[in-house]
Amino acid sequence: MSRHKVPSASWLPKLVVAPSFLLSFFFIYGLIAWNGYLSLSASHMLPNYDWVGFENYANLFDNDRFHVALTNMAIFGVLFIGGAMVLGLLLAILLDQKIRGEGVLRTIYLYPMAISFIVTGTAWKWILNPGLGIEHLVRSWGFPDFTFDWLVNDQRAIYCIVIAGIWQASGFVMALFLAGLRGIDDSIIKAAQIDGASLPRIYWRIVVPSLRPVFFSTLMVVSHLAIKSFDLVIALTAGGPGYSTDLPATFMYAMSFSRGQVALGAASAEIMLATVAAIVVPYLYSELRSKK
Amino acid sequence: MNRPNALTWHRVVLWAVLLIFAAWFLMPLYVMVVTSLKDMDQIRGGSLMSLPTAITFDSWGKAWSQACTGTDCGGLKPYFLNSVAMVVPAVAISTAIGIVNGYVLSKWRFRGSEVMFAMLLFGVFMPMQVVLLPMSQILGYFGIASSIVGLIVMHVLAGIPSTTLFFRNYYIGLPDELIKAAMLDGAGFWRILWRVVLPLSTPILVVTLIWQFTNIWNDFLYGVVFSGADSKPITVGLNNLANTTSSVKEYNVDMAAALIAALPTLFVYVVAGKYFVRGLTAGAVKG
């Protein structure tokens, strides 16, 4: 539709975008390939380009720490994605009830998204610390036996990360769903009300199903946030106690930049990439096709 | 729904739930602020939620200029300045490139430009872990591995896909007739961009500037991987400060430091929240 026939200038747009496109494609696809090569090499402390094949991947899946990271990814992924989606949808539906002061509430629910995960982690670390945090607070309310030591408990610390993650991201989910709800035709709801349907029933049967497209794009955005989670873990638990709260991203960082296991780090990065690609590529494909 | 302001019982329940969640979202901010205004005796004597009995700003001063981050004890000030020196050029360059890319991809399409756009879009989502190792080699090769310049390069490269997406999707909505009319008047590629398209770009420009500013200011991953001793950004400074183990853990200083790191983006959010939300939703709904 915008193919303008100006022969003299037809090379100019291409020339103008060429440098940034070439750089970007090198940055995205060139470096993915480079990292892929590193993951098949004998790199340890420093990159080394001797080929060893899939040995690093075999070592990766034999590595206890990586197993912990994958298990945590599953726990964190399910709870964080589920929690943020449910809470965000709930908040969006509640805010959609013609609330006076909606703007203020929306601002409050969404502000965590404007601050760094490092700030969030630092704040929640202080709130959840067993010495002077919530445990101390509840004890001072008259429950002297109350204990809440999840942050330093290697079986429970991952749930602290879930709590802080949901706190940070559910307002974002709310904003996306709210935008979707605002796009729904009011007259459908009115008609259902005239037919005598109750409000919860209308939401469950009519409104929520019509949010399907928003639901999928939100799910996609939140899952890729989950897979990339790094800062929050570093700030809240630094992967500890021990490595009990490692996620693939922190595993990759530890192997590549402090443990001198570059090839293992590169292999774990490729696994992360494959996971994200499996979610994102079908989504991008369908989005771009549907717009044609 | 018929009488939205009538005080029925489910209106009361609705409000109660909304306010409980508001309190939950505000609680960490409240705790940060009150903790930062207490001295250590008040922290030990009081509780998480108690108001300070005597307000003191000592911990703010300490967090800014004396607190220890690892071995050096100069507070967050140098990190804050590094972040400013990094954010300004990184935001400006990535936004400028996004404008030109978006303009070409919407108004000067050529064969294959849609495919290129789709290929670029993957860069919005890819986990950046996958570029860290090669990128540290490249930055090292050019001698900018541990410098602010290196961080700027990294942020620009990582930001181009999103900025291109923002401008491209916005410019698609501008009528093609506008461009055609300008061409009939004899305006060329650059002149149309400068005189016709840019003056219409204010909303998306604000959205993109805020989006890039927030992301780059809050970034930790590139900061921790690609910075040297004197080029660390504020997020790395804060993390080092909060994880420095000293004999006495000074939570008030930690909280003041966290607030200092959060203030610039919080300020932008409060002033221009509408545009921030638009950036978030634009980043999610592609195509």
DSSP per-residue string spanning chain B = --STT---HHHHHHHHHHHHHHHHHHHHHHHHHHHHTS-HHHHHHS-TTPPPSS---HHHHHHHHT--BTTB---SHHHHHHHHHHHHHHHHHHHHHHHHHHHHHHHS--TTHHHHHHHHHHHHHS-THHHHHHHHHHHHHTT-TTSHHHHHHHHHHHHHHHHHHHHHHHHHTS-HHHHHHHHHTT--HHHHIIIIIGGG-HHHHHHHHHHHHHHHHH--HHHHHH--TT---HHHHHHHHHH---SS--HHHHHHHHHHHHHHHHHHHHHHHHHHHHHHHHHHS--
Q: How far is CA B105 from CA A16, A101, B114, B126, in A?
A: 11, 40, 7, 21
The pLDDT of residue A289 is: 75
Does A4 sit within 8 Å of B108, measured CB to CB?
A: yes
Q: Do A284 and B135 touch (CB under 8 A)?
A: no
Rounded to whole angstroms, how far apart are CA atoms A255 and A261?
5
Q: Which residues of B touch A14 (CB under 8 A)?
A: 104, 110
Beta bridge partner(s), residue A51 = A41
> Among A4-13, A38-47, B203-212, which stretch is predicted with the lowest mean pLDDT?
A4-13
Cβ within 8 Å, pair A32-B47:
no
Find out whether A123 and A235 touch, Cβ atoms under 8 Å.
no
Residue A282 makes CB contacts below 8 A (sequence gap 6+) with none
What residues of B are in contact with residue A290 (Cβ under 8 Å)? 287
With CA atoms as reference, the chain B residue closest to A15 would be: B104
Amino acid at A183: G
Distances (CA, A) of A280 to A249, A267, B82, B113, B163: 18, 20, 34, 20, 19
| CA pair distance A235, B236, nearest whole angstrom | 10
Give residue A51's identity as a one-letter amino acid code. Answer: W
Q: Cβ of A107 and B189 within 8 Å?
A: no
Q: CB under 8 Å, gap of 24 or more: what pairs does B196-203 form?
A: B197/B103, B197/B107, B197/B171, B198/B99, B200/B174, B201/B99, B201/B167, B201/B170, B201/B171, B203/B170, B203/B275, B203/B278
**Tokens read off for A53:** 């094949």
Q: Which of B22, B161, B257 sits opposite A108 (nearest CB)?
A: B22
A167 pLDDT tier (thresholds 50, 70, 90): very high
Distance from CA of A118 to the nearest CA of B (A): 6
Contact residues on chain B for A32, CB-CB shorter than 8 A: 126, 130-131
* Residues B132, B7: Cα–Cα separation, whole Å: 57
Three-state secondary structure call for residue A51 = strand
Q: How many CB atoms lie within 10 A of CB A205?
A: 12
Check B133 against A262: CB less than 8 A apart.
yes
Which residues face A41 on adjacent strands? A51
CA contacts within 13 A on the Cβ side of B285:
19
**CA A141/CA B41 separation, integer angstroms:** 20
The tokens for A189 are 């709801």
**Which residues of A fall within a CB distance of 8 Å from B137?**
47
Note which residues in 28-67 of chain A have CB less than 8 A from chain B: 28-32, 34-35, 38, 47
Chain A residue numbers with beta carbons less than 8 Å from the beta carbon of B242 are: 122, 125, 235
| A1 has a pLDDT exceeding 50 | no
| pLDDT value for A43 | 81
Helix (H) or strand (E) holding A158: helix A157-182
DSSP H helical segments within A96-156, as ranges? Answer: 102-110, 117-128, 134-140
Give the residue from B129, B158, B171 showing the smallest Cα distance to A255: B129
CB A66 within 8 A of CB A252: no
Residue A92 has pLDDT above 50, yes or no: yes
The reply to whether residue B218 touches residue A10, judged by beta carbons under 8 angstroms, is no
Nearest to B269 among A10, A114, A284 (CB): A114
pLDDT for res B246: 67
User: Is the CB of A109 inside 8 Å of chain B's CB atoms?
Assistant: yes
pLDDT value, residue A8: 47
More confident residue, A5 or A270: A270
Distance CA A75, CA A51 (A): 35
Tokens representing residue B91 in the block: 């935001």
- Looking at CA atoms only, how far is residue B143 from chain A in angstroms? 17
**CB-CB under 8 Å, A280 with B125:** yes
Q: Report the residue of chain B nearest A232, measured CA to CA.
A: B220
User: Residue B175: phi, psi to the nearest 5?
Assistant: -65, 135
Whether the per-residue pLDDT at A10 is higher than 90: the answer is no
Residue A107 structure tokens: 């601002």
Residue of B nearest to A227 (CA): B127
Give the pLDDT score at A232. 92
Structure letter (DSSP) for residue A41: B
Residue B121 tokens, joined: 């879009």
A110: Cα separation from own chain's centroid: 16
User: Would you state the torsion angle of the CA atoms of residues B117, B123, B126, B130, taken in this order, to the nearest 10 degrees?
Assistant: 130
Inter-chain CB proximity A20 and B160 less than 8 Å:
yes
Q: What is the pLDDT of residue B286?
A: 43
ipTM: 0.90
pLDDT in tens, A176-234: 999 888 888 778 878 888 888 887 888 888 888 888 888 888 898 898 889 888 999 99
Exposure string over A129-154, b if 16+ CB within 10 A, otherwise e = beebbbbbbbeeeeeeeeebebbebe
Cβ-defined contact of B133 to A125 (cutoff 8 Å)? no
Of A26, A187, A182, residue with least CA distance to A93: A182
Query: What local confidence, expressed as pLDDT, does residue B287 receive?
Result: 33
pTM, 2 dp: 0.91
Give me the pLDDT at residue B1, please: 46
How many pairs of residues across A and B have Cβ atoms under 8 Å apart? 281
Who contacts B170 (Cβ-Cβ below 8 Å, separation ≥6)?
B102, B201, B203, B204
DSSP state of A111: G
Q: Block means of pLDDT (10 residues each) for chain B, length 287 residues? A: 61 91 94 91 82 86 84 87 96 97 93 90 90 93 91 96 93 91 90 93 92 94 90 93 77 92 94 83 55
Among A115, A127, A146, A186, which would you mutate to test the B interface (most chain B Cβ atoms within 10 Å of its Cβ)? Answer: A115
